[in-house]
Chain A
Amino acid sequence: MPLTTTPNLARPDEFYQALIEVHAGLDRAQSEALNARLVLLLANHVGDAEVLVQALQAARSSFDSGSET
């Protein structure tokens, strides 16, 4: 199963807002910890090893495209 990168979120704007809001009131270190927990929870939900590797690669390669340093 390939990683889904076409639009798949049911309510994208709502999700994005919730993602920002869940960090409210946390300091940088706490936010990092929250993000890590989120990654772990979602990774377990996905389960599929190939999809997870593709997601890791997609996240990492977004640094190589020149838009970010």
Chain B
Amino acid sequence: MHASYQPPSFEGYVPSSDSAATPALVVIVGAGPVGLCCAIDLALHGVQAIVIDDNNTVSAGSRAICYAKRTLEILDRLGCGDAVVDRGVGWRVGKVFVGDRLAYQFDLLPEDGHRRPAFVNLQQYHLEEALLARLSALGGEVRWKNRCAGVMQDDDGVTLEVESPGGTYRLRADRVIAADGARSTVREAMGLAFPGQVFNDRFLIADVRMTGDFPTERWFWFDPPFHRHQSVLLHRQADDVWRIDFQLGPDANAEDERRPERVLPRLRAMLGSERPFTLEWVSVYTFQCRRLERFVHERVIFAGDAAHQVSPFGARGCNGGIQDADNLCWKLARVIKAESPVSLLASYDHERGQAADENILESTRSTDFITPKSDMSRVFRDSVLALAAQHEFARRLVNSGRLSLPARYRGSALDTQDRDAWDSPLTPGTPLLDAPVTIGGAARWLSAEVGHGFDLLVFGDRIDMLAYRAINGLRCVRVIEPGAVGDGAEGERVIVDTHGLLVRRYGAEPGSAYLIRPDQHVAARWKRGTPADVAVALARACGASSENSIAADHHAQSRAA
């Protein structure tokens, strides 16, 4: 399979009579990146899930390589950001060539003051190994070689039929996360349609090992001299492995194209006959864009590729799936612990459905540009490329993939819409912006200090925090300028805005407050917050019905008084 990477081979799980009989709170079907992130996140929220996977190893072959900054921040929260970032290669610049000329260049993170780079490239199997190590450190495990073959749902739970090396058994769960990938058995067993668009063009993926002098950037060619009339993408991965992606057109024969006699000449034409390289992996792919109409089906919740599939241009598949996990798990944990009503899960469907639509829209546009579907579409595409050589405006139309940006949830029932005018892009529904800060004299990053629970950032050294701190289920953090002192109250968390970037990025004034959700998205913000505002917004963000939030309002006011 791989020339040099040795995937681990895990022992299949043989059920005991216990493991079959004991009902689980949550069963996660699929130990891909999304299922594993869900298992870790739930464990961190105190909910041990059972993970089953039909395979006995990590993702074979060459799949996801690019992880976006937002994903890295989520991995940080899950406790394996360093493992991924240290092993991977960071990048932020993309170059687009037309023929052999540079037509367009983009920088995905043109400012400093963020913990994580715009992107880190790493083979999917390395990501999965890092996630597995983290899960096992948390006491979780995967039941390898356990395949979900059937799903029955009733009012009180879900029964899965599981095929294992010890025979078929029934596994009962309160709730099931279906993270079993694009060909989801759970989806199929439930008879759910997966409508969308299939693209006909075939792409050859060749991973080569070489010590190249290409810079660590994303390079994309339209119509290069070494592969006429098609596109090529070059990406660096860890371990001196480079991903090269050749567009082959719709008529290519997948079997033929995989053969080294076909692949090696293509590579030599591109890399030159002098450069030594070895083939690490070859495969031929076609792409599709699809989604389930709903991600939540009573007690079965779909996440990752099982819920939605995108073309790889823009690196939105795995990134989107990990954001699903980030969005889902705190909600599911609250519902399981009866801290929030079941209806909270509807916001997962709404928010991540929106994100899936955005990912599908962006990646479909990219795919249509890269592989025009009609003669006229090709004429316009080629015209854009021709104009791009001379005219700046046309470079903006060149679409070789719009790379994954964090989703902003619009109009979510959990968020409180802005009442004030802000000079900051952090509208409710947006994930936080990172900044370097100091805590107790030590350098830290904001992204590592908030999230997982609800946090309230309150700006200013003279603001009375007592009434805020009296609100249940909220961690309060005071943000002060360097040199200022907090009011020094016992146990108060104080963040020093060392470089003034927090005040700038958050457009904050003394008295401003930001309510941050467990998934680090802004739930609400106020130029001048009051404890009553915060209590209402918090209740809303926890999924309280409007009646409940009014009750919370009274509660907070009486306590704040």
Interface residues of B in 331-390 (CB under 8 A from A): 376, 379-380, 382-384, 386-387
Within 8 Å CB of B394, what residues of A?
Answer: 40, 44
Measured CB to CB, the closest approach of chain B to A48, in angstroms, equals: 14
- Selected A-B contacts with CB under 8 Å, 22 pairs: A32-B376, A32-B379, A33-B382, A33-B383, A33-B386, A36-B376, A36-B379, A36-B382, A36-B383, A37-B383, A37-B387, A39-B380, A40-B380, A40-B383, A40-B384, A40-B387, A40-B394, A41-B387, A41-B391, A44-B391, A44-B393, A44-B394
Q: Are B393 and A33 in contact (CB under 8 A)?
A: no
Measured CB to CB, the closest approach of chain A to B135, in angstroms, equals: 47
Within 8 Å CB of A33, what residues of B?
Answer: 379, 382-383, 386
Binding site for B on A (CB under 8 A): 32-33, 36-37, 39-41, 44
Binding site for A on B (CB under 8 A): 376, 379-380, 382-384, 386-387, 391, 393-394, 397
Within 8 Å CB of B387, what residues of A?
Answer: 37, 40-41
A44 and B391 CA atoms in complex are apart in Å by 11
A37 and B394 CA atoms in complex are apart in Å by 10
- Which residue of chain A has the shortest Cβ distance to B375 in the bound complex? A32
Measured CB to CB, the closest approach of chain B to A22, in angstroms, equals: 15
Measured CB to CB, the closest approach of chain A to B480, in angstroms, equals: 43
Within 8 Å CB of B386, what residues of A?
Answer: 33, 37
Measured CB to CB, the closest approach of chain B to A51, in angstroms, equals: 16
A39 and B387 CA atoms in complex are apart in Å by 12
A60 and B391 CA atoms in complex are apart in Å by 28
A6 and B339 CA atoms in complex are apart in Å by 63
Measured CB to CB, the closest approach of chain A to B104, in angstroms, equals: 15
Within 8 Å CB of B379, what residues of A?
Answer: 32-33, 36
- Which residue of chain A has the shortest Cβ distance to B393 in the bound complex? A44
A44 and B392 CA atoms in complex are apart in Å by 10
Within 8 Å CB of A44, what residues of B?
Answer: 391, 393-394
Measured CB to CB, the closest approach of chain A to B397, in angstroms, equals: 7
Q: Are A40 and B397 in contact (CB under 8 A)?
A: yes
Within 8 Å CB of B383, what residues of A?
Answer: 33, 36-37, 40
Question: Looking at B376, B380, B382, B394, which has the most chain A CB atoms within 10 Å of its CB?
Answer: B380
- Which residue of chain A has the shortest Cβ distance to B384 in the bound complex? A40
A9 and B379 CA atoms in complex are apart in Å by 27
Measured CB to CB, the closest approach of chain B to A52, in angstroms, equals: 13
- Which residue of chain A has the shortest Cβ distance to B392 in the bound complex? A44
